[in-house]
Amino acid sequence: MLKNAIGREIPERIEGLGELTPYQGPFAIRPKNRRRGPQLRQVEPGEKKLLPNLEKALIETGAHDGMTISFHHHFREGDYLLDKVIDAAARIGLKNLVIAPSSLTNVHSSLIEHIKNGVIKRIETSGLRGSLGEFISKGMMDTPVIIRSHGGRARAIEAGETKIDIAFLSVSSCDNYGNASGCVGRNVCGALGYAMVDAKYAEKVVLVTDTLVDYPNVPASIDQTDVDHIVVIDAIGDSGGIMSGPLRHTSSPRDLLIAEYTAKVVEYSGYFKDGFSIQSGSGGASLAVARFLRDKMLEKNITASFMMGGISAQHTVMLKEGFVRKLYDTQTFDLEAVKSLAENPNHVEISAAYYANPHSKGAVVNCLDVGILSALEIDTDFNVNVITGSDGIIRGASGGHSDIAAGAKLKIVIAPLVRKRMPIVVDRVNTVTTPGETIDVLVTDWGIAVNQKQPELMAVLGKTGLPLYDIKELQEKAESITGRPDLIKYTDRIVGIVEYRDGSIIDVIRQVM
Amino acid sequence: MQIKCVGESGTTASGDILIKIEPCEGEDIDVEIYSTVGKQFSRQIKTAIINTLQELNVSGIRVLAKDNGALDYAIKARTQTAVCRAGKVLSFDWGVLSDEQNKENDAVCSR
């Protein structure tokens, strides 16, 4: 075991995953390798790409035991494809598959059966929820899962660390030569930002759609030059599902108080001026922050240069009204926003690599002024956990959290001090996904704490009348309300490793007892 | 206090607890807890329930608690109400509360 730069014990190697590099700091690892693309291929004039079903696609693309297949999660809780492909793989007898979806949601609990019966051997993902997260946390897989941020996944794919043999990508519409869109079709999902990376780097790319349209289906998010095959099925997913998951609209006084404090922190921080840029998360309070800022922008007569996210209807309304000039969209969060992406040229679809890959010539996160981030837990070193619940069970997603925290100029974590009796500000988080050195401010409903590494910001906010505390005081306050929680009991067995965006290991997740 | 029938109080909403009390043979207090934060807090939830029952001088009962992250004061209040309902008490004698509880109440009132 080695201790990484934030004091977490990391094994030197793990059976089935190989050597691990401990986390050394947000920009400590410099890339040395080259981008790794797929084998060149020549599709000749007259060749057909359409195949009748998923089994045929698996066979045609050379599916074999132990290979890696990837998916995207743009349909979130409405995804049908992942289950269908794994079922098809099971039917043709494939075993020991590595699955590398951009994330997994509650709908993917059926994977448990395929882990038990040996079809799936290993998982790489951003998130895990529901009974699948519980199953893995209880130590039911032989090889630990790899948790990556969205930028980290793009990096791993481009660097050839995640070698995708076949990408199965559901697309809302497609022509018979592989030009695909998420904005047109029977079941739309909007941006295809995660899928765009897989399409460029997977050995074989199979697009799956329920809406086959006339050639050419342009503008296309994934284009014909990257696509091997196309399969048409009855339904790829449920558009309604993109709205579910963690998204909430709030009227909660607690969320509104947090949002009000946060908007003030942004306003007084020095970054709130004409042309500023901001990313806000998908939680209720995050969405409310944007509403408060809108009023302040009116007051000061300024506009934002760009916003990014998770793009929801609220962002698109601000775009239409002229509060913001451009929207960067990797993943679209509701149907209003899908419509905007299809119609508004200033609402721009970008890939996960463009958004957040640290080993590139500059991802969008580097250009951000303000990042508003959530937390399941945050500790007195400002380390944030967004992957395991307070009970130690995997029930979250790394997402773009650590990417934004590394890239943006002002990184604010917002969270209630107490959530269902659980203190959210703690001595030590169960799992670190984002290192505290990349977080500047914590805003809770009981007060605000500024990271000691930001003395200037502390001085500025000190003059505003906002309720500032040392983060240790907030931690004590939380515990005085809830009582001191009994410690979660873990075994020594590692069930998951959490990669930092640069590929080093920031923490491991152990089996809960 | 004499327990005469089944008494229930609370909800399973976030931050609340549902307490069900029923009489049983003997002098024991049997507490069963299902909690969303059980791993970290079932010990403290049990203590809060038992302390409240002892303040009200109640025994020979079975308690079923379904907790969704209630804080101690909510657990106490729900338990008191469930006891009163199970004892068919129509007006609560605030004097039976411990000095400590009365002090807490005074503090809240004077805020």
- Cβ of B13 under 8 Å from any chain A Cβ? no
- From the number of C-beta atoms within 10 Å of its C-beta (0-12, 13-18, 19+), residue A493 rates as exposed
Q: What pLDDT score does B2 carry? A: 86
In CATH terms, B7-110 corresponds, of 1.10.3470, 3.30.230, 3.10.20, 3.90.1200, to: 3.30.230
- DSSP 8-state secondary structure symbol assigned to residue A185: S
CA distance between the termini of chain B = 31
Complex ipTM? 0.84
The full set of domain ranges for chain B reads 7-110
Residues A429/A488, Cβ–Cβ less than 8 Å = no
Contact between B71 and A482 using a beta-carbon 8 Å cutoff: yes
Q: Which residues contact A493 (CB under 8 A, 6 or more apart)?
A: A139, A510, A511
Which two structure tokens, joined as six digits, stand for B48? 């809060």
Q: Where are the alpha helices (DSSP H) in chain B?
A: 38-55, 72-86, 99-110
Which two structure tokens, joined as six digits, stand for A410? 């002002």
- Cβ of A511 under 8 Å from any chain B Cβ? no
CA pair distance A424, A13, nearest whole angstrom: 32
pLDDT tens digits for A261-295? 999 999 999 999 999 999 987 678 888 998 899 99
Q: Which domains does chain A have, with CATH numbers?
A: 49-243 (3.40.1080.10), 253-487 (3.40.1080.10)
Q: What percent of chain A has pLDDT over 90?
A: 94
Q: Using CB atoms, which residue from A419, A421, A481 is nearest to B41?
A: A421
Strand partners, A256: none
- From the number of C-beta atoms within 10 Å of its C-beta (0-12, 13-18, 19+), residue B49 rates as buried
Q: Which residue ranges in chain B fall short of pLDDT 70?
A: 96-111
Q: What pLDDT score does A280 carry? A: 85
Q: Quick one: CA dihedral A363, A364, A367, A370, positive or negative? A: negative
Q: Using CB atoms, which residue from A392, A420, A488 is nearest to B69?
A: A420
CA pair distance A397, A388, nearest whole angstrom: 9
Contact between A485 and B41 using a beta-carbon 8 Å cutoff: yes
pLDDT tens digits for A235-251? 999 988 887 544 556 78
- Cβ of A391 under 8 Å from any chain B Cβ? yes
Q: What pLDDT score does A245 carry? A: 43
Q: Tokens 């207090």 identify what position?
A: B29
Q: Which helix (H) or strand (E) holds A125?
A: strand A120-125
Q: What pLDDT score does B101 carry? A: 63
Q: Which residue ranges in chain A fall short of pLDDT 50?
A: 245-246
Q: What pLDDT score does A165 carry? A: 98
How many alpha carbons fall within 13 Å on the CB side of residue A33? 13
- For residue A216, whether the previous peptide bond is cis, meaning omega lies within 30 degrees of 0, is yes
